[in-house]
């Protein structure tokens, strides 16, 4: 729970106000929070919470149930929030669509709307890289967070050049915000743990990692355990590495760190050679926004939730159903 002073500026009047009304309405009507609790959690005044609830009812966003203007499955969102004690959830209805690129684009757009609608917006934001985060970056509106500082939280100097710009996420986040990006221009995975240790002690790298640890908001994707993983495409892992990780019980990676179904690191040696924000820091973040979509990522999404690496989940309807059905 945040200890910051109540937000004293005027409420937004654009699309971000709709998203804020939905968030307040879910907390009040479906999660039985008091207006004082909501005000404290979201950095608002009680008067602002009351005004948002009144507007939500007057404008038809709240009837018998919450019906946001944007396409969302609020019943699944509330179920996920209650089951995993999440701060928030966004579930995008996709029907029978299974095409990975369409799922990633749709969920990326939802995550971009969520970030642009945060109130107040973060001055310092940490981001990971990869296909999903590239989709989020593409969908961000221009000037969504003027002057924001964006820091890359894991190494991304690819060994192989690919046709997709999956590594330029921090730059694109900063450009659309009219802010500044701080990069981590080192490999995501190194050959020796001693090399990782030496790089972490370098003053420049240490300064970037300190920024990543200080960021109150981190937005990140998750990788399924696949031979088409962005880490294999980038040259960090081989097909044999993926097979070995699967044999160890890995279900995917978060920030390049491979974990099992409970969110535990499966290969200590590989983890010791991985450079970037450690997973335990995600548990300490005020906002740890996990963005995930597609069948191959069902298991890693569930693992991230069970391990409390995520406080806000943005996902598709099928993934949300699978997580809830597979979690006792």
Q: Beta strand 252-254 with 257-259: parallel, antiparallel or unpaired?
A: antiparallel
The pLDDT value recorded for residue 4 is 43
Domains annotated for the chain, with CATH where assigned, are 1-69 (1.10.10.60), 71-326 (3.40.50.1360)
User: According to the model, what pLDDT value does residue 121 have?
Assistant: 94
**Side-chain half-sphere of 130: how many Cα atoms within 13 Å?**
28
How many other C-beta atoms are found inside a 10 Å radius of the C-beta of residue 183?
17
DSSP 60: T
Cα 18 from chain centre: 20
Peptide bond into 188 cis (omega under 30): no
pLDDT along the chain (328 residues), means of 10: 46 75 90 90 91 87 60 92 97 90 94 95 96 95 96 80 66 95 92 96 96 98 85 85 96 97 98 97 97 97 98 97 94
Name the token pair of 188: 């995501």
Q: How do 88-92 and 312-316 pair as beta strands?
A: parallel
Do 297 and 319 meet the contact criterion of CB atoms below 8 Å apart? yes
Taking the C-alpha atoms of residue 291 and residue 219, their distance in angstroms, rounded to an integer, is 7
């Amino acid at each position: 729970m945040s200890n910051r002073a109540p937000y004293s500026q005027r409420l937004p009047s654009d699309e971000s106000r709709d998203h804020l009304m939905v968030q307040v309405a879910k907390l009040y009507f479906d999660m039985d929070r008091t207006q004082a609790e909501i005000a404290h959690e979201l950095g608002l005044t009680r008067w602002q919470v009351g005004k948002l609830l009144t507007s939500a009812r007057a404008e038809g966003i709240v009837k018998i149930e919450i019906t946001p203007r944007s396409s969302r499955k609020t019943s699944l969102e509330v179920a996920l929030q209650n089951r995993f004690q999440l701060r928030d959830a966004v579930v995008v209805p996709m029907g029978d669509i299974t095409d990975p690129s369409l799922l990633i684009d749709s969920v990326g757009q939802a995550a971009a709307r969520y970030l642009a609608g945060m109130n107040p917006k973060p001055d310092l934001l940490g981001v990971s890289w990869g296909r999903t985060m590239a989709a989020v970056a593409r969908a961000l509106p221009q000037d969504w967070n003027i002057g924001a500082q964006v820091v890359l939280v894991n190494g991304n100097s690819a060994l192989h050049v690919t046709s997709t710009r999956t590594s330029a996420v921090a730059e694109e986040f900063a450009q659309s915000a009219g802010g500044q990006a701080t990069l981590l221009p080192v490999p995501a995975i190194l050959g020796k743990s001693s090399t990782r240790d030496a790089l972490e002690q370098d003053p420049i790298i240490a300064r970037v990692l300190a920024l990543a640890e200080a960021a109150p908001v981190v937005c990140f994707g998750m990788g399924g355990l696949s031979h088409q993983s962005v880490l294999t495409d980038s040259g960090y892992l081989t097909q044999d590495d993926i097979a070995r990780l699967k044999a160890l019980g890995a279900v995917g990676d978060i920030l390049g760190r491979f974990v099992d179904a409970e969110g535990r690191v499966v290969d200590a040696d590989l983890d010791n050679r991985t450079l970037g924000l450690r997973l335990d820091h995600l548990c300490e973040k005020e906002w740890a926004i996990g963005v995930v979509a597609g069948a191959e990522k069902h298991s890693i999404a569930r693992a991230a939730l069970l391990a409390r690496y995520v406080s806000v989940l943005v996902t598709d309807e099928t993934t949300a159903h699978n997580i809830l059905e597979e979690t006792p």
